[in-house]
Amino acid sequence: MTDSKYFTTTKKGEIFELKAELNSDKKEKKKEAVKKVIASMTVGKDVSALFPDVVNCMQTDNLELKKLVYLYLMNYAKSQPDMAIMAVNTFVKDCEDPNPLIRALAVRTMGCIRVDKITEYLCEPLRKCLKDEDPYVRKTAAVCVAKLHDINAQLVEDQGFLDTLKDLISDSNPMVVANAVAALSEIAESHPSSNLLDLNPQSINKLLTALNECTEWGQIFILDCLANYTPKDDREAQSICERVTPRLSHANSAVVLSAVKVLMKFMEMLSKDLDYYGTLLKKLAPPLVTLLSAEPELQYVALRNINLIVQKRPEILKHEMKVFFVKYNDPIYVKLEKLDIMIRLASQANIAQVLAELKEYATEVDVDFVRKAVRAIGRCAIKVEQSAERCVSTLLDLIQTKVNYVVQEAIVVIKDIFRKYPNKYESVIATLCENLDSLDEPEARAAMIWIVGEYAERIDNADELLESFLEGFHDESTQVQLQLLTAIVKLFLKKPTETQELVQQVLSLATQDSDNPDLRDRGYIYWRLLSTDPVAAKEVVLAEKPLISEETDLIEPTLLDELICYIGTLASVYHKPPSAFVEGGRGVVHKSLPPRTTSSESTESPETAPAGAPPGEQLDVIPTQGDLLGDLLNLDLGPPVSGPPLATSSVQMGAVDLLGSGLDSLMGDEPEGIGASNFVSPPAAAVPANLGAPMGSGLSDLFDLTSGVGTLSGSYVAPKAVWLPAMKAKGLEISGTFTRQVGSISMDLQLTNKALQVMTDFAIQFNRNSFGLAPAAPLQVHAPLSPNQTVEISLPLNTVGSVMKMEPLNNLQVAVKNNIDVFYFSTLYPLHILFVEDGKMDRQMFLATWKDIPNENEAQFQIRDCPLNAEAVSSRLQSSNIFTIAKRNVEGQDMLYQSLKLTNGIWVLAELRIQPGNPSFMDLELSLKCRAPEVSQHVYQAYETILKN
């Protein structure tokens, strides 16, 4: 007998048997069969062949059987859409079933069947269920609207379901309200621009009423919705806070965190002088402390949120230091997080307690934790000055233990303590040097080398110590090599006679024998400094160092404000905004805390002048590079200025100068001529003499004035050029051109996001320039710029900004900021955008002025191969506001006499001689006369650009 017996069976197959059972007359057998089908489906077997038989089982009163059939339907409707339509009638019927559970079940299943063909059949039953008398059906229908919107948004809007959802916010049943809020929030999230949740005091009142009686998840939806509302004044904010406070004592930690989020947000609007403000601070501490008695995973989430809260309002938990002390059985991730919060809460009042704890932690067995504890002792010394002495002695005790990793961490933090308190604790250097041989980690070696170089004059054998590191120079990490190079140069500048050989050795190692560009560059800079000007080298290398600040790891304030709005979500655990880790088409809305609008405090606005300044006088302050980036994020970009031109010379965009003195010194521009009086020159030492030249010449090609296609009507517009490539601006590419139409100048920009994250919060500012060009309105990008998206914007410009002569004259330095960073670029604008419409001089005036301007101010230029005759030349130039005053023909040559006027009132007179060459191309000779001769070259370029394009 052959092997075929293995492939034949008396059973006709499992599917066949199930089919027979599903069509059985006995209810019990049917139920068992459906259960078997669901079981097969769950383990991954394909039972889609039974679709018609399972759907037939829907006609039953048995709720359990119905649930099983609906489960099967949800799973297979997508792969069998044509069959799924068979079930529609049953759905419609079930939506009118007397049993509310069956009605709700039908609606829930309809929302889960994501098949386009079926959705339109579901609208009628869904409409009935949204108005059902049973709240259980209504709450299920509310969620179904959100699911339907995800499949077919247009259908939901056309059918008016969104309005029905809004009406459900006023429902008498709190669970229906909560689900309606959840559904609307979900829909609003995918359509950030739509104002679906139109919250007003009346609807907020309804939500707060429902809040007390919802289930815990309902409460979370309502609290999250409240957090997106901005109260109209501090009184309303206080009343909302009073009604949300009872949620702090809820058993569910998610409800507690959502309530904390609402309170933290609305506290911004309360005056700190209010008694209620103090009461609220006291009420916030106990629930946060209670969260720390949960299981470790929840503790970790709570601690990450508390970390944000402590950075924003440390006063909430300042008396609760003890709950953050580490327990022996805490997992490492909880220990490290607690340690971080302990440092943030450390103050003069509790430092003794904290130090005793930290010293205890430093003897633990967990290496990572011990390292962090030793670092924490150093951070305490930097944060609380009174404790520095005690911290240093604690660190010395730890060094005496001779435990390798403890010694290395201690040396790293002592380096920071030396930076913070110069000339105070240097007596410990001898102890540190004893441990030199045991250092094997790059960071510890680099810190030790820094200490030896910085205090070389106090260490007798500093040269020997550094020489010992030099022996294995190429095996060291980059961090150590860079530090060693700097330390030996410092040593040479302090003891030049003894260390000449050593410095030669390290410079040749760093420059000739190294392939690391950072190391080579630093080596060459030191080499040139030492060889050309040792005095300057001393000033640069041994310059006074700024003191380090106590909190180097604080979250940047605007990001912190945004994260406070996301308390209780993943963003608060990652400490990153959602846009940094959420991908996909969903628009991520940037949230921020409401401004303080208190009736008792005067609002501090950036426009208010300081007390000492006379009214009407704007103080012109150029911020330092450090202030710059902080202030950019709250740039006050005012509306366009109307009315007469302003007398002040400041840029019309708030008092902050985006480019500050940073770019002037970068470009090496020396102000002269126009407006030099109001320019603060950078200190001479900061500007390398030869930096200006290569920078300027590189920019001249940025704006290619000789290419592009123009149109005869209106002023010539150059094609867009790339001004800021994406690789230089973290993924933001900016192209643009300049136009002048009917008297108004604009900068036409094209912004392209080539990064992986959403870009928002755009702003722009110009540095002072030769003609006072400045934005006349803020840079408005209405929706967040998603990855690979491009947006075109026309930015109106005016010429009432600050003036400073640039090199070349038409150079414009621009700063653009977004949520990622601030980016600088520079471009050349064509001068014809500044030719005004009233630039036609009368004939007598032209003759008198031509004679009056001295001959040395006359400049001659040639324009070859112009494809236009005299008439066409005249009309083409007139469309760009160069006006022909008279025309003559001398010996067969056409002569055009022309005038134009710039926005700053400078007149330019021109004589254009048209020499007929071959029939289709003319050669033109252009003579220009002007009281500011440096303009002539740029006017000639404008002529050539207009006539040849």
Question: Distance between CA atoms of 904 and 650, rounded to whole angstroms?
Answer: 16
Average pLDDT over the chain, rounded to an integer: 79
Question: 651 falls in which pLDDT band (50, 70, 90)?
Answer: very low
SS3 228: coil
Mean pLDDT, to the nearest integer, of 405-412? 88
Mean pLDDT, to the nearest integer, of 336-340? 90
What is the torsion angle, in degrees rounded to the nearest 10, for the CA atoms of residue 11, residue 17, residue 21 and residue 24? -70
Residue 466 near residue 436 (C-beta atoms within 8 A): no
Return the DSSP state at 718.
P
Phi, psi of 238 (to 5 degrees): -65, -40
Q: How do residues 83-109 score in pLDDT, each as one tens digit?
A: 777 777 777 788 888 888 888 888 888
Question: Distance between CA atoms of 341 and 328, rounded to whole angstroms?
Answer: 17
Class of the domain covering 721-829: mainly beta
Q: How do residues 145-202 score in pLDDT, each as one tens digit?
A: 888 888 888 888 888 888 888 888 888 888 888 888 888 888 887 776 666 777 888 8
Residue 147 near residue 107 (C-beta atoms within 8 A): no
- Residue 889, pLDDT above cutoff 90: no
Question: Distance between CA atoms of 759 and 783, rounded to whole angstroms?
Answer: 9
- Residue 561, pLDDT above cutoff 70: yes
Per-residue pLDDT, 900: 93
Question: CA of 378: how far to CAs of 370, 421, 719, 766, 792, in Å?
Answer: 13, 12, 58, 43, 51
- Residue 590, pLDDT above cutoff 80: no
Per-residue pLDDT, 434: 81
In the chain, % of residues over pLDDT 70: 84
Question: 829 falls in which pLDDT band (50, 70, 90)?
Answer: very high
Q: Count Cβ atoms below 10 Å from residue 526 Cβ, excluding itself.
A: 24
- Residue 674, pLDDT above cutoff 50: no
Per-residue pLDDT, 485: 92
Q: How do residues 417-434 score in pLDDT, each as one tens digit?
A: 888 888 787 788 888 888
Per-residue pLDDT, 659: 38
Question: Distance between CA atoms of 488 and 472, rounded to whole angstroms?
Answer: 15
Q: How do residues 740-779 score in pLDDT, each as one tens digit?
A: 988 899 999 999 998 888 899 899 999 989 999 999 988 8
Per-residue pLDDT, 698: 35
- Residue 596, pLDDT above cutoff 70: no
520 vs 593, higher pLDDT = 520
- Residue 626, pLDDT above cutoff 70: no
In the chain, % of residues over pLDDT 90: 16
Per-residue pLDDT, 690: 37
Q: Which of 358-362, 596-600, 750-754 is least confident? A: 596-600
Per-residue pLDDT, 4: 57
Mean pLDDT, to the nearest integer, of 852-878? 87
Per-residue pLDDT, 6: 43
Helix extents (H) in 401-533: 404-420, 429-434, 442-454, 462-470, 478-494, 500-511, 517-532
Q: Which of 331-335, 528-532, 825-829 is least confident? A: 528-532
- Residue 606, pLDDT above cutoff 70: no
Question: CA of 855: how far to CAs of 285, 383, 673, 850, 907, in Å?
Answer: 82, 70, 21, 9, 16
Q: Which of 127-141, 493-507, 676-690 is least confident? A: 676-690
Residue 81 near residue 115 (C-beta atoms within 8 A): yes
Contacts by 938-942, CB closer than 8 A, 24 or more apart: 938/808, 938/809, 938/810, 938/831, 939/831, 939/900, 939/908, 939/910, 940/859, 940/861, 940/863, 941/705, 941/830, 941/831, 942/830, 942/831, 942/832, 942/835, 942/880
- Residue 10, pLDDT above cutoff 80: no
Question: 458 falls in which pLDDT band (50, 70, 90)?
Answer: confident
Question: Distance between CA atoms of 237 and 264, rounded to whole angstroms?
Answer: 11
CA 705 from centroid of its chain's CA atoms: 34
Q: Enter the CATH code of domain 3-231.
A: 1.25.10.10
Per-residue pLDDT, 259: 94
Q: Enter the CATH code of domain 834-948.
A: 3.30.310.10
Question: 949 falls in which pLDDT band (50, 70, 90)?
Answer: confident
Mean pLDDT, to the nearest integer, of 1-16? 55
Return the DSSP state at 799.
S
Per-residue pLDDT, 193: 63
Per-residue pLDDT, 603: 38
